[in-house]
Structure 1
Amino acid sequence: MTYLWLALLFVAAAVVAGVAFACQGSRRGESRRHWQAAGLAFAALAVLTAVFDSVMIGMELFHYDTSHLLGVTVGLAPIEDFAYPLAGVVALPGLWIWLTRRRARGGSERRHGEPRLKGLIPQALLASRPVSWINTAYPFAAAMLLTTRQIDWVLVVGTFYFLIPYNLAMYGINDVFDYESDLKNPRKGGIEGALLQPRLHRPMLWLAAITNIPFLLVLALAGGPSAWLPLLASAFAVVAYSVAGLRFKERPVLDSITSSTHFVSPAVVGLAIAGAEVTPGLIILLAAFFLWGMAAHAFGAVQDIEPDRQAGIGSIATVIGARRTVRLAVVLWLVAGLAMLATPWPGPLAAVIAIPYIVNCAPYWNVTDPTAARTNAAWRRFIWLNYGSGFLVTLILILHWSLTS
């Protein structure tokens, strides 16, 4: 099968799914705006695809069998490569609209005769925060790929695990145990967190277990004893952050440490499975990443000070206050950036990535507790800043690959 036919099959499936989701989820009059937004998104992704693929092909990081290509290129990127961003912008926005519309229409109470598990999968997907999936899958994949320099079944399985099941557990468990406080939080019920119907709480916990445990066992067997402790620490952090009795999210400072572990541990797991050599540069890099994660959690907690206090939840922000928490986040991002200057080349280039986060956070240097909710605007920018940072990190990783090949 040529790349063209494979790409067409992929796009065709995405078109069918995307149109079906959009038609079921959109209100009257929204369809045109939906497809206009999808067109703009594809234009942006097409430019990024052309740039990234041309750079990687130009550096001879990979190549295609030309006998399976149509022969049309944009820069050095074959036209077939553009099928995947096209499929993404067609299918994913429609899926998101469908998921959020079902939530809005479904109500919060179980209707008489309604199946107990009805709506579990859509609600679980929404709860898993699809917009943030990449934040945990990317560290694992990058760590393994840069260490082993090959794509094998362990890399594929591990990346998939940290992409979806891991986030399903991390955020799904949190949404179950935070339900009462989330009811008081106006930003919940969409991109920043689901409001799981109470009837779905126990099924959600079972779904998290059955979708995570098999992957953890497979990765433990594949990685051997060196991977057991990182995997255990990663799984424990996911559970301990939210479940009753542990609730690390209600223990100031420990909440930020645990949250950062959620994002750094996939990288550590990848390094352990790949058998990476522990060097001072690697330790500094992971420490910088950990400080970045703590800063992100601390700043994110500021916007929830009022609903958290109303629900009796103690976080780093509710304890030390909005102003001090924002300042702490700025300092942590600054130290993380400075730490990258001590890593081997081209690591120091990543120091610049701290700047957008500091600039985004700094305007709230003097924020007060009563006005803390205003930081939500910056938090929403933070979500998209992560994609820009991922773009820069990828370029740096490509440079590192070319220098060490």
Structure 2
Amino acid sequence: MASSRSPAIDHQPAPTSRVSARSTIGRLVHISRPVLWINTIGTGVLGMWLTGQVLDAAAIPLLLWLTLPFNLLIYGVNDIFDQETDALNPRKGSIEGARIEPREVRLIVWAVAITNVPFLLWFVIAYPPAAVGLILLYTLVFVFYSAPPLRFKQRPFLDSLSNAAYGLPLLIVPVALGAPPLWPAVIGLLAWSVAKHAYDAVQDIDEDREAGIRTTAVLLGPRGTAVWSGCWWLVSTALFALVSVPVAALNLAIAGVLVVWMLLRPTPATGRRLYPVSIAFPYVAGSLASGLQLAKMFFEVYG
């Protein structure tokens, strides 16, 4: 007698290509360090607001570029050339940064090219030559921070000074929109970025020294780096005060805590312990600066 049961239905798994694509995108986002996007997109948005516009359509492509594409360029290139030190660094593999495998290098190179080149071509068409020049400078500084032959990362003081480039969106965006830059804010943020880079490198002194990498932090040690960063943060505070006393006061307070704590306990472990505070620094100070600027714009229109 024939069985009346229906044949079993073969449940097929989800297409592996879809899963693989989702996994690849997630991996690239992780490499781009979303927790640090504030240093690019936050600065770009503030630069737009300082022109007096809440949202300028001409700035949208530039702001989009300052999210995943540009951060993938910064940190993807960095991860490619820092595999030796990253293998020794316990922070890598977390939200603070990826630890890549050699087989991922090709993927990162292609992803950086695909996500950045179209934007760069659009900028050449859409923005004034001065803005395009600044964008190219911004890009090249971060490429050669990690990549040979320049590799600023291995050149004491130049490693820290080159990271002033984190402040460039405050200049790039107004120039791209044909508006005058707010120079005290621009130069203040350049100085602030020099300080923060050196300070954050204290936590990696042991790993960099073991890998033969001589950074400002390795050369000066934790205490000397605290003094170096403190001087630059004082410069940024004085310049911010020309724009906003509350922002300058907050900047001085947070920087003061970071510097004094490091001077009291000058070790890489202190740098690791304070790194969350350093990450929060631009979020807190940027939120105050943005809030005050938006309030000013509101009262100028409706006051």
TM-score normalised by length of structure 2 = 0.86
Residue 170 of structure 1 and its aligned partner are, at CA, apart by 0.3
Q: Does the 8 Å CA contact 2:185/2:239 hold for their aligned counterparts? A: yes
> How do 1:197-208 residues align onto structure 2 when only pairs under 5 Å count?
197-208=101-112
Whole-angstrom distance in 1 between the partners of 2:281 and 2:42: 15
Where structure 1 has 5 or more consecutive residues not aligned to the other structure, the ranges are: 1-115
Amino acid aligned to 2:291: L
- What residue in structure 2 maps to residue 392 of structure 1? 288
Amino acid aligned to 1:353: L
Residue 150 of structure 1 and its aligned partner are, at CA, apart by 5.5
**Correspondence 1:360 to 2:267:** no
Residues 334-374 of structure 1: CA deviation (Å, up to 9, x unaligned): 2211222233xxx2332112111221331111444xx3233
Whole-angstrom distance in 1 between the partners of 2:50 and 2:240: 18
- What residue in structure 2 maps to residue 96 of structure 1? none
Cα RMSD after superposing both structures? 2.0
Residues 315-336 of structure 1: CA deviation (Å, up to 9, x unaligned): 1011122210012112221221
Q: Does the 8 Å CA contact 2:59/2:177 hold for their aligned counterparts? A: no
* 2:87 maps to which of 159, 183, 187: 183
* Matched residues, number: 281
Q: Does the 8 Å CA contact 2:30/2:97 hold for their aligned counterparts? A: yes
> How do 1:128-207 residues align onto structure 2 when only pairs under 5 Å count?
128-147=32-51, 149=53, 151-207=55-111
Q: Does the 8 Å CA contact 1:340/1:350 hold for their aligned counterparts? A: yes
Q: More relative contact order in 1 or in 2 (CA 8 Å, sep 6+)?
A: 2
Whole-angstrom distance in 2 between the partners of 1:324 and 1:195: 29
- What residue in structure 1 maps to residue 176 of structure 2? 273
* 1:351 maps to which of 248, 272, 282: 248
Whole-angstrom distance in 1 between the partners of 2:241 and 2:209: 39
Amino acid aligned to 1:301: A
- Please state whether the residue corresponding to 1:151 is helix, strand or coil: coil
Where structure 2 has 5 or more consecutive residues not aligned to the other structure, the ranges are: 1-19
Amino acid aligned to 1:165: P
> How do 1:367-382 residues align onto structure 2 when only pairs under 5 Å count?
367-368=265-266, 371-382=267-278
Task: Give runs of ≥4 in structure 1 deviating > 3 Å.
Answer: 116-120, 402-405
**Correspondence 1:287 to 2:187:** yes
Whole-angstrom distance in 1 between the partners of 2:274 and 2:124: 38
Whole-angstrom distance in 2 between the partners of 1:342 and 1:118: 47
